Structure 1
Amino acid sequence: MNSTGFDLTEADKIRNFVLMNLPADQQEEYYNKYWHPIELDTEESNEYHVSEFIRNYLTFKLKKVPAMGKVYLVFKRFIEQKKMTTEAVLQDLLKYAGYEKQIRSAHSQSDKVNVLLKRLAVLEVNVTRPFILPLFDYWQEGKVSANEVAAVLGSIESYIFRRLICGMQNNSLNKLFATLFSDFLKYVNQSDNYVDIINYLLLSKTEVSHFPTDDEFAESIETRDAYNMRQQTKYYIFDRLENQDSLERVNVIEEMQNNRFTIEHIMPQTLSSAWKNELGDDCQSIYDRWDNRLANLTLTAYNSSYSNKSFYEKKTAENGFDNSGFRLNDFVKGCDQWTEKELIERSELLKQRALKLWPMSSSNFQTKVVENEVYGLDDDNNYANVKIASYSLMNTPYKLPKRTWKEMYIGVVRALYELDAAPICQLIAGDRTPLEKILLDHQEKGFSQVAEGVYLYTLTDNWHKIHRLRDLFDFYGINQSELQFEVGAGARKYA
Structure 2
Amino acid sequence: MFATKTFAEFIRHYLVVKTHTSVKKNGVYSSYKDYFISNGLSSEQALADLFKFASYYDQILNHKSADDRFNKILEHINVMDSKVVFPYLMLLMDLVHTAKINQEEAIQLAHILESYLFRSKACQTPTNRLNKIVVGLCDLSKEGGNLRLRLLRLLKANFPDDRKLLESLMEVDLYKQGNHLAKLSLVILEEHKTRETINFDDAQVEHIMPQRLNAEWRLQVANADKVKEQYGGTLGNLTLTKYNQEMSNKPYSEKKEFYKDSNVSLTREVAETYNQWGKEAIIDRTKELTDELIQIFPMPNIKEVNEEEITGEYTIDQPVNVTGKAPVQITINENEYPVKTWKQMLKIFLNDLWNRDSLNYDWIKEHDQISRMLFRPHNAPATLENGTVIETNFSASVILAIITKISEICDITDQVSYTVK
C-alpha spacing 1:413/1:295, structure 2 compared with 1 (3 Å): same
Q: 1:255 maps to which residue?
A: 202
1:90-101 to 2 correspondences below 5 Å: 90-101=47-58
1:173 is matched by which residue type in structure 2? L
Structure with the higher fraction of residues in helix conformation: 2
Q: Does 1:304 align with 2:280?
A: no
Quote how far apart the aligned CAs of 1:50 are.
Answer: 1.2
Q: Is the 8 A contact 1:470 1:480 kept in 2?
A: no
Choose the corresponding residue for 1:267, options 209, 219, 227. Answer: 209
TM-superposed deviation, 1:68: 1.1
Asked if the contact 1:197/1:363 (under 8 Å) is kept, the reply is no
Matches within 5 A, 1:335-346: 335-346=274-285
Is the 1:276–1:283 contact (alpha carbons within 8 Å) kept by the matching residues of 2?
yes
Contact 2:17–2:87, Cα closer than 8 Å, also in 1: yes
Partner in structure 2 of residue 62 of structure 1:
19
C-alpha separation in 1, matches of 2:212 and 2:315: 53
Gaps of 5+ in 2: none
Equivalent runs, 1:42-441 vs 2, <5 Å? 47-183=4-140, 186-188=143-145, 196-197=148-149, 200-204=152-156, 206=157, 210-230=158-178, 232-244=180-192, 246-251=194-199, 253-256=200-203, 262-280=204-222, 282-316=223-257, 320-334=258-272, 335-362=274-301, 365=304, 373=312, 377=316, 381-389=320-328, 403-417=340-354, 421-424=358-361, 426-427=362-363, 430-432=365-367, 435-440=370-375
- Secondary structure of the structure 1 residue equivalent to 2:384: strand
SS of 1:187's partner is helix
Query: 1:184·1:197 contact (CA, 8 Å) conserved in 2?
Result: no
> Do 2:314 and 2:417's aligned partners in 1 also have CA atoms closer than 8 Å?
yes
Q: Which amino acid aligns with 2:367?
A: R
1:234, distance to aligned residue in structure 2 (A): 3.5
2:384 is aligned, of 438, 445, 450, to 450
Structure 2 length-normalised TM: 0.87
1:298 aligned counterpart, secondary structure? strand
Q: For 1:173 and 1:243, how far apart are their aligned partners in 2?
A: 28
- Aligned to 2:240, what secondary structure does the other structure show? strand
Are the equivalent residues in 2 in contact too, given 1:390–1:485 (CA < 8 A)?
yes
Distance (whole Å) between structure 1 residues aligned to residue 139 and residue 268 of structure 2: 46
Is the 1:443–1:449 Cα contact (8 Å) retained in structure 2? no
**Could you say if the C-alpha distance between residues 223 and 476 of structure 1 is closer, same or farther in structure 2, counting changes exceeding 3 Å?**
closer
Distance in 2, Cα, partners of 1:301 & 1:416: 56
Amino acid at match of 1:413: L
Identical amino acids, percent of aligned pairs: 24
* Inter-CA distance 53–433: structure 2 relative to 1 (3 Å threshold): farther
Instruction: Work out the CA distance in 2 between the residues paired with 1:158 and 1:113.
Output: 13
Q: CA deviation at 1:449?
A: 3.9
TM-score normalised over the length of structure 1: 0.75
- d(CA) in 1 for partners of 2:133 and 2:9? 18
Q: Is this contact kept in 2: 1:199–1:362, CA < 8 A?
A: no
Q: Could you say if the C-alpha distance between residues 382 and 231 of structure 1 is closer, same or farther in structure 2, counting changes exceeding 3 Å?
A: closer
Aligned partner letter, 1:175: K
| Structure 1 unaligned residues grouped into runs of 5+ | 1-9, 13-46, 257-261, 489-495
Superposition deviation, residue 311 in structure 1: 1.5
> Is this contact kept in 2: 1:184–1:201, CA < 8 A?
no
Higher CA-based Rg: 1
CA RMSD of aligned residues (A): 3.2
Q: How many residues align?
A: 420
Tell me: CA distance 1:389–1:101, structure 2 relative to 1, closer, same or farther (3 Å). Answer: closer
Deviation at 1:65, TM superposition (A): 1.7
* Aligned partner letter, 1:465: I
Task: Output one character per residue of 1:162-197: Cα deviation in whole Å (capped at 9) or x when no partner.
Answer: 000000122111111122132576334x6xxx6x43
Which stretch shows the higher mean deviation, 365-374 or 148-157? 365-374
| Matches of 2:336 and 2:261, distance apart in 1 | 71
- Partner of 1:385, secondary structure, is coil
Task: Work out the CA distance in 2 between the residues paired with 1:54 and 1:274.
Answer: 57
Given the superposition, is the C-alpha separation of residues 286 and 183 from structure 1 closer, same or farther in structure 2, using an over 3 Å criterion?
same
